Structure 1
Amino acid sequence: MAQLRGVGIGLGVAQGPVARMAPPVPAPDDTPSTLSVEEETARAREAVGVVARELEQRGTQAGGAAQEVLEAQAMMAEDPTLEEEIDSRLAQGKTAEWAVHDAFASFRRQLTALGGYLGERAADLDDVAQRVIAQLRGEPAPGVPDPGHPFVLVAKDLAPADTALLDLDKVLALVTTEGGPTSHTAILAREKSIVAVVGAVGAKDLADGDSVIVDAASGVVTTDPTAEELERAEHRAEVRAEAASAPVTPGALADGTAVPLLANLGSPTAAAEAVELGAEGVGLFRTEFLFLSANQAPTVEQQRASYTELLKAFPGKKVVVRMLDAGADKPLPFLNDAHEDNPALGLRGLRALRQSEDILREQLTALSEAHEATRRTPEGPADLWVMAPMVSTVEETEYFVTLAREYDIKTAGVMVEVPSSALLADRVLRHADFASIGTNDLTQYTMAADRLLGSVASYQDPWHPAVLRLVREVGDAGKANGKPVGICGEAAADPLLAVVLVGLGATSLSMAPTALADVRATLLEHTLDDAVRIAEAALAADDAASARTAAQTAAAREKETQS
């Protein structure tokens, strides 16, 4: 028996035999083509088109965050710049297979160098290139194995196209050797409630048929488990299944302290499922879906229709809408697509919106009109809150709140994603009505590690005490100013970390809807005093791993004391 450690996603536990992801399609040889340039160009165009349409189809079938990721992949496959790269190689008499392979590799290097959102897209290029080459060869696309029985999938990492459509009747759990808590694999696994441990480097030595237990709660993969260990894991899985089917109750601690549990949503179509899973409102509504696939900004009318649909789904409940979070790292032709050497530190979020204030004003207009249109619903209107992304200064806070008031929006706040706004949270919250901490970006900027680059994924851990200290700064500022402080990053979906965040002063938690049940159950195991003590234990650690371990030890101690 051995234990392989990684980062667990959720509280699930599963067991079964290993099935490894198939190796990548072999790279084509650089041999001259026997066809004409025109014939090879036609082959390349057709293969790219087929793959792009397949990705779009998979996205439509998957829905949710997976659809956004897969549609972005499809757009990338047909990127005009990439097409030019392929054509230049075909013009040299290369085969379509080699031209695609080499052009994608070159494009990947360019995007990796840019970092930020585009750097993350670069990682997806490998999967697209593999699919196009397989299409050209007339071979099946690389993907998830099918051993004919349920299995634990082990892979270096999973492409979004594979994760989106995993057969959950066959895939018992997922283990990857790369990736972190905010990787696409982790996010999609959480959305689909797949038991997963990511970044388990030692899993590279697992072989097909090996028996393992995947324990997401502890982030451990146990190899060659004993019969007793298998029985304990099975019992835990049964208990968790019973808890998940229990009646949904509002989020609260064991002493009755309310901790509203809200949903992170990317479009109004996901609202019904969030309500069904017990979301008490929306803590983060991403408006980017209206903008990212368009060549021009959506009209006020188009935006109003989407916002109205959203607000109608949550009558009488809080709905926090984030203004467009785009800019140099998510270039939009109508906002800012100028090249920047370091887009993660460039003109993004509120900075970009101030440069194109008409877009910001149109968003506020549409939100105000949508709120007004839903005021007369029988259950009462949704409680609309709006927040600006990437706020770095007190002056930016004043600017946004003042502008929101012009549109009769009563509750205007800011995202705390930059250390400067966390350190000045006491002053920021004198002007803002609330703060919402985006732990993904806050971790990125605190640790100086691009959250979308695999090479520094180990730094992207919200458990790091430096990040937790900044969260405490905001929590303390919220108490001092009598203002709510929410969490809307992926950290809120980690059940034990959710307890720590409440202990640091968070008053609400927002997450992927499928994470709500686990977080709700874990909060009910601890009082507010417990949460504060567990948070203090994590803060006293020197690094992320020891902070997590310290919190686990403190939580176990608190439970023993209660029993």
Structure 2
Amino acid sequence: MATSQTTLHGSGVGRGAVVGPVARAHPAPALHTEAPPPDDVAAAVAEVTEAFAQVARTLEKRAEEAGGTIADVLGATAMMAADPELVGQVRSRIEGGQAAVPAVDRSVAEFADLFTAAGGYLAERVTDLRSVRDRVVARLLGLPEPGVPALARPSVVVADDLSPADTAALELDKVLGIVIEQGGPTGHTAIIAGQLGIPCVVRVVGASALEDGTEVAVDAAAGTVVVDPDDELRGRVETRREALATLAGRTDPGTTADGHAVALLANIGTAEDAERLTDAAVEGVGLFRTEVLYLGRTSAPTEDEQAEVYARALGALGGRKVVVRTLDAGADKPLAFVTRSGEENPALGVRGFRLVRTDEELLRTQLRAIARAAERTGGDPWVMAPMIASVEEAEQFATLARAEGVRTVGVMVEVPAAALRARDLLAVVDFVSLGTNDLAQYTMATDRLLGELVDLLDPWQPAVLDLVAATAEAGLDVGKPVGVCGESAADPAMALVLTGLGVTSLSMSPAAVPGVRFALSRHSLERCREIAAAARSARTAVDARRACLGLVDAQVREVLALG
């Protein structure tokens, strides 16, 4: 057992801090891979088929109860459990003489290897695939389902890892925080925790040694987990909690201390997400990820289906700004009905807007659906295309979008070429939005899902800041909006840099908005420009952040625990 005041380190999600007792998740069952072959093959096949079906039904039910992005993730996991290819492979192994448990394990292992090799979105689903395996095996062995048990009191959930199904099953009114030893800041647990505003620390080495009931202090801003915190630390956590609660109560628009407006927007993935923003203190939506409508399907949603979803989202937001990103598929988000197979490097292949090269009607259908939703609701959605690399692509998208009835047209700046030629892009579109996650990936030649290279993906990398600056400068010169909808917008310190560079809107998880609003309100535009200049003059990412924090208001640093 850990000793008093032991500090464990990881990657934090959010700015919150909590103190509470550990509640450990049930471990995955032992797999018994050397089990003897079944005496009754037919009975074994029937039992394992029913186990997969039960897991799928359970996940589907949780998806129906959850709603929103969590429901989409759970639904996709349920589809894995119901996948006839996976179940069929397990049945074949049993019929070939393997016992049920090793047949499940080895079949899932093969699928996991395929997912890992594919990289990106599929690689992230390996945790979900293994969760299906563990749930099926638990049913076969008559054991409790893996995951978090019912909580008797508010607790900090600790696990080696949590699948989306585990996370969605949490009793949120009793979950103070989440600590996991594996995972990563772009994984499903981190994303869901961020959306719900739950302090979370991932990749925490030593978390598996924490025992049930042990008191821990979880600090998402610092990325730390302190065991048996003393009274002083408990007091600091409570002070932070109260301060953040006060900030969350503010509803004023985003502005600097001297009144310079910076729109604070939310990232969403579904119409349900938009409906939950009805009373949220955001000025609209800066990124509507429409690919959630397409994922897990064998054919594209119809124009009517899409128009209904977009109309729900626009109607829920009541005239507030909504920026819709057209389908961003391919690479880490493959679609069975359009994505090419066999690409050696799909991240550099046919993805995003490039799908128009093989299926223009797919994009035209989506654009018509968005235009219909706008006409039906009286809204004016801004519509942007992802993965634009040249002015020819930007011009092609603008022509298509306007021909289908879209009035305000923009493009994503995620490729260095687009950032370097942003002025040319802005000559043919109405706005641009920086996707800093992909921009960092392509600038630093680093897979954004590869945890061990996370330092290269730091948005504070000077080269990335230079490309953001070039894009923002182009927007200022031509008088057109330049937004940021990558995760860097959620960092209050980076928000000051982006504002100083000339970015006009920041889009993030709704839970991150209060901290960013507070940081902006404590600094003038001129101070933001000084902070941006200091960050850009640094040689390394670490130096850039340090230079920024040296100029940030002390109260902001203290309340938001910026370091």
- Alignment partner of 1:515 out of 509, 512, 515: 512
Match of 2:163 among 155, 159, 179: 159
Q: Which residue of 2 aligns with 1:447?
A: 444
Mapping 1:404-423, distance limit 5 Å: 404-423=401-420
**Whole-angstrom distance in 1 between the partners of 2:539 and 2:69:** 34
Q: Which residue of 2 aligns with 1:34?
A: 38
Shift of 1:364: 1.5
Tell me the equivalent position of 1:141. Answer: 145
Change (3 A) 1:325 1:238: same
Flag structure 1 segments of 5+ consecutive residues without an equivalent.
375-380
Question: Paired residue for 1:378?
Answer: none
1:303 aligns with 2:306: yes
- Indicate yes or no: 2:19 matched with 1:15: yes
Residues 122 and 333, structure 2, Cα contact 8 Å, conserved in 1: yes
The verdict on how the C-alpha distance between 1:308 and 1:148 changes in structure 2, with shifts beyond 3 A counting, is closer
- Paired residues of 1:329 and 1:348 also in contact (CA < 8 A): no
For 1:2 and 1:525, the matched residues in 2 are separated by 35
Inter-CA distance 221–545: structure 2 relative to 1 (3 Å threshold): farther
Deviation of 1:213 after TM superposition, in Å, equals 2.0
How far did 1:467 drift?
Answer: 2.5
Give the CA deviation at 1:541: 4.4
Instruction: Trace 1:166-245 onto structure 2 (pairs within 5 A).
Output: 166-201=170-205, 203-245=207-249
- 1:20-419 to structure 2, matched below 5 A, reads 20-145=24-149, 148-201=152-205, 203-246=207-250, 248-374=251-377, 381-419=378-416
Q: Give, in whole Å, the separation in 1 of the partners of 2:531 and 2:515.
A: 18
Counterpart Cα distance in 1 of 2:499 and 2:74: 34
Q: Is the 8 A contact 2:151 2:174 kept in 1?
A: no
Q: TM-score, normalised by structure 1?
A: 0.91
Q: Note if contact 1:115-1:453 (Cα within 8 Å) is conserved in structure 2.
A: no
Q: Residue type matched to 1:263 in 2?
A: A
Distance 1:35 1:457, change over 3 A: farther
After superposition, the Cα gap between the structure-2 partners of 1:87 and 1:456, relative to the gap in structure 1 and judged at 3 Å, is farther
Contact between 2:519 and 2:556, CA under 8 Å: does it hold in 1? no
Q: Provide the secondary structure at the position in 2 that maps to 1:554.
A: coil
Is the partner of 2:382 in helix, strand or coil? strand
| Secondary structure class of the residue paired with 2:287 | strand
* Between 521-530 and 205-214, the greater mean CA deviation after superposition: 205-214
- Kept in 2, the 8 Å contact 1:328–1:339? The answer is no
Structure 1 pair 165–184 and aligned structure 2 pair: CA distance change class (3 A): same
* 1:499 and 2:502 aligned: no
Q: 1:455: how far off? A: 5.0
Residues 140-189 of structure 1 deviation map (CA, whole Å, 9 limit, x = unaligned): 11112557333222333321112223223332112233333322121100
Aligned counterparts of 1:542 and 1:3: Cα–Cα separation in 2: 30
Answer whether contact 2:27 2:147 (CA < 8 A) is retained: no
Show structure 2 runs of 5+ residues with no match: 558-563
Shift of 1:115: 0.7
Distance (whole Å) between structure 1 residues aligned to residue 11 and residue 539 of structure 2: 18
d(CA) in 2 for partners of 1:385 and 1:107?
39
Does structure 2 conserve the Cα–Cα contact (< 8 Å) formed by 1:20 and 1:153? yes
Quote the Cα distance in structure 2 between the aligned partners of 1:202 and 1:498.
32
Residue 122 (structure 1) shift: 2.0
My pick for the range that moved more, 496-505 or 106-115, is: 496-505
Q: Deviations over 1:366-421 (max 9, x none)?
A: 222222223xxxxxx32221111111122111111122222232211111122221
Amino acid of the structure 2 residue aligned with 1:221: V
Other-structure match for 2:480: 483
The one-letter code matched in structure 1 to 2:294 is F
* Cα RMSD after superposing both structures: 2.4
CA shift in 2, pair 1:460/1:205, >3 Å: farther
Kept after mapping to 2: 8 A contact 1:114/1:342 = no
Q: Secondary structure at the match of 1:274?
A: coil
- Secondary structure of 2:21 counterpart: strand
| Cα offsets for 1:204-253 (capped at 9, x unmatched) | 5544444332222333333343212211221221222233234x111222
Partner amino acid for 2:314? L
- Report the alpha carbon displacement of residue 77 of structure 1 after superposing the two structures with TM: 2.3
CA spacing shift, 1:547–1:212, aligned 2, 3 Å: farther
Give the residue type in structure 1 aligned to 2:28.
P
TM-score (norm 2): 0.91
Structure 1 residues 549 and 70, CA gap change in structure 2 (3 angstroms): farther
Question: Structure 2: which amino acid aligns with 1:297?
Answer: A
395, 414, 429: which is aligned to 2:426? 429
Seen in structure 2, the aligned counterparts of structure 1 residues 40 and 199 have a Cα distance that, compared at 3 Å, is same
| Larger deviation, residues 70-79 vs 457-466 | 457-466
3-state SS of the aligned residue for 1:175?
A: strand
TM-superposed CA distance for 1:453, in Å, is 4.0
93 and 546 in structure 1: CA distance in 2 versus 1, 3 angstrom threshold: farther
Contact 1:212 1:225 in 2 (8 A): yes
Alpha-carbon spacing, 1:434–1:70, altered in 2? closer, same or farther (3 Å): same
TM-superposed CA distance for 1:486, in Å, is: 0.9
What is the CA distance between 1:14 and its match in structure 2? 0.8
Take 1:157 and 1:526, find their aligned partners in 2: how far apart are those partners? 39
Post-superposition Cα deviations, 1:481-522, rounded to whole Å, max 9, x if no partner, equal 211111112222233332232223221011222332232223
CA distance in 2, matches of 1:527, 1:515: 20
Q: For 1:297-333, what per-residue CA distance to the aligned partner results, in whole angstroms no more than 9, with x for missing partners?
A: 2222222222222222234322111111113543333
Query: Per-residue displacement from partner, 1:528-560 (whole Å, max 9, x unpaired)?
Result: 223233333433445545544443333145969
Match of 2:560 in 1: none
CA separation of 1:13/1:329 partners in 2, compared to 1, >3 Å: closer, same or farther? Answer: closer
What's the secondary structure of 1:383's corresponding residue?
A: coil
Alignment partners' CA distance in 1, 2:154 and 2:431:
47
**CA shift for structure 1 position 523:** 2.1
Q: SS of 2:172's equivalent?
A: coil
**Number of residues paired by the alignment?**
553
Query: Residues of 2 paired with 1:460 and 1:36: CA distance?
Result: 53
Q: d(CA) in 2 for partners of 1:182 and 1:349?
A: 19
- 1:392 maps to a residue whose letter is A
Residue in structure 2 matched with residue 377 of structure 1 by the alignment? none
Range 260-269 or range 31-40, more displaced: 31-40
> Which digits, 9 at most, give the CA deviation of each residue in 1:81-138, with x for residues without a partner?
3234323321221122111111101210111011122122223212111111111112
Aligned-partner Cα distance in 2 for 1:257–1:514 = 23
CA separation in 1, counterparts of 2:495 and 2:159? 28
Asked if structure 2 preserves the Cα contact closer than 8 Å seen for 1:441 and 1:451, the reply is yes
* DSSP 3-state at the match of 1:72: helix
For residues 402 and 280 of structure 1, do their structure 2 counterparts lie closer, same or farther at Cα, with a shift above 3 Å needed? same
Q: Distance in 2 between matches of 1:446 and 1:370?
A: 36
Does the 8 Å CA contact 2:151/2:171 hold for their aligned counterparts? no
CA contact (8 A) 2:518 2:556 kept: no
CA separation in 2, counterparts of 1:213 and 1:386?
43
Q: Whole-Å Cα distance in 2 between the matches of residues 6 and 459 of structure 1? A: 17
Letter in 2 for 1:52: A
Q: CA separation of 1:544/1:234 partners in 2, compared to 1, >3 Å: closer, same or farther?
A: same
1:463 aligns with 2:460: yes
- Deviations along 1:273-315, one digit per CA (max 9) or x if unpaired, are 2131122122111222332243322222222222222222234
Check whether the contact 2:265–2:283 (CA below 8 A) recurs between aligned residues.
yes
User: Cα distance 1:437–1:307, how it changes in 2: closer, same or farther (>3 A)?
Assistant: same
